[in-house]
Amino acid sequence: MKKPAADRILMFLKMRGEATSLLISEELSITKEGARKHLLNLAREELVIPFAKSEGVGRPSTYYKLTEKGLAQFPDTHADITVQLLRSVKNLLGENALELLINDREKNTYQRYEKSLEGSRSLEQRLDILVKIRSEEGYMAEWKKEGDDYFLIENHCPICAAAAECQGFCRAELSNFRNLIGKDYQIERVSHILSGGQRCMYKISL
């Protein structure tokens, strides 16, 4: 079943970060008036907010982005109970036990991803597979190429609350990406949700 236009707009803004009503109408195949109407309704519900953005000569363009309330439409997976469990592990068993838990998750994740990547020969094939796996896990992942560099982008973090409680999760994920993509490439995180970024983005270069 096709999602309502308003839901598709929210999803599009989550993936893009920001967009004009014209771009939304073109990308989602709805009329300009329809896009504007939905955006006005979403703004009234405080799910999106308009802002002016200068693009060279002429009047600034009106862009839209998600508000905190809009971002909350894409929640963490079982956030509260996950944070409570992490705090219990830390309080009852100590920091070392929490580190062991993260290391075990990192190892299991790596093994599962590595198995899926078997037979992939090129970087782009590996990225295709990683994007598919990560999207299935709720990360809304995609990749793009700019010049000689590749970017692995995750538009949502389904474990954000857990990662905020213990940044070891983020460290482990970066380590896994470096090992899975291979030592021939340099991989660095250039945008981080927990540091105020719109998304997590990893730059991959030779």
Q: What is the pLDDT of residues 154-192, one digit of tens each?
A: 999 888 878 877 788 899 999 999 999 988 999 999 999
Which of the listed CATH numbers 1.10.760.10, 1.10.3720.10, 1.10.10.10, 3.90.940.20 matches domain 5-71?
Answer: 1.10.10.10
Q: pLDDT per residue over 31-52, tens digit each?
A: 999 999 999 999 999 999 999 9
With b meaning 16 or more CB within 10 Å and e meaning fewer, what string describes 103-138?
A: eebbeebbeebeeebeeeeebeebbebbbebbeeeb
Q: pLDDT per residue over 131-152, tens digit each?
A: 999 999 989 999 999 999 999 9
Residue-range domain boundaries for the chain: 5-71, 79-205
In this prediction the pTM is 0.75
Mean of all residue pLDDT scores within the chain: 89
Q: If one looks up domain 79-205 in CATH, what number appears?
A: 3.30.1380.20
Amino acid at the residue 122 = S
pLDDT value of residue 76: 66
